[in-house]
Amino acid sequence: MHIPDGFLSTPVWASLNVATWPAVGYLARRAQKSLDEGKVPLLGVLGAFVFAAQMVNFPVGVGTSGHLVGSALLTFTLGPAAAAVVMTAILALQALIFQDGGLLALAANVFNMAIIGVLAAYLPFHYWGSGRWRKAAIFLGGFLSLFVGACLALSQLLLSGVQMPGTVLGASLGIFVVTAALEGAITLAVLQAMEALNPGWVREPAKSARRALGALAAGALLLACIGVLFASADPDGLEKLAEEIGIAEHARNLMTTPLTDYEVSFLGSTWLSKATAGLIGLILIVALCLVVGRLLARRRSA
């Protein structure tokens, strides 16, 4: 799902930069109106959980993997505006520190996952999330958040002049359908588990989520330290598509860091390298979300 630099044409990534960052600023102002100091820890813990979950790929087809994106999970617990801000923080950290997604393509990834992905998750939950169709609305929101974002990424590649044979495009859409269904199922399972610990925490998370937040924090640590041992090494749907149509070699990094590809490059052990990178990532995303959350909360108070 993370588009690297080298895949999008200059007009496409430049246009998305022009459209995306003002939208993020608007959403930050919207989040500010409903954010108080008591809800700030929720941003950090959920941001850490989603970051860790994105590190663990699972098989979705022959030679292809996927991972939880988390746009829907953030939307259902934080609200759409705050969810967009947290997802933007995650994507920015991934691009700047871990080289996951391009710097020039960052706006495209934010647009696909943090703006439209959040909106796609929010609409079913907003209209059907409080009645007998609640479980279906959560699943559908998770499904649409990933599938719509994936379709946008494909559209951006097509607008950039990337040629895709019909058979390859169809296969990619099929992979995205499977991955989106897993996104919906995982999102529903996580929310149900959290509500079993703290009934009603999705509706009043800041007041009733202590045990649920503890479970999410423990889950983030387990995913970052243990989950990486079982993560699939197969490429995700977008990477597989790039290999099939011959543009994988166009991917480039505009900068390098010691944590590229979620590994601490100077550590010898593969597990230790990935687990250490994961822990560093958790610390960074918690700190970033807390700083952003407190700034927004204090501006609201002022």
The fraction of the chain above a pLDDT of 70, given in percent, is 95
∠150-122-81 over CA atoms, to 5°? 95
pLDDT category at 142 given cuts 50, 70, 90 is very high
Of 82-86, 130-134, 216-220, the one with minimum mean pLDDT is 130-134
Composition of the chain by helix, strand, coil, percent to 5:
75, 5, 25
- pTM for the whole structure: 0.94
- Residue 187 phi, psi dihedral angles, 5° rounding: -60, -45
Q: Measure the CA–CA gap between 125 and 85, rounded to whole angstroms.
A: 19
pLDDT digits (tens, 9 = 90+) for 97-129: 999 999 999 999 999 999 999 999 999 999 998
pLDDT category at 270 given cuts 50, 70, 90 is confident
**Nearest one of 259, 301, 256 to 284, comparing CA atoms:** 259
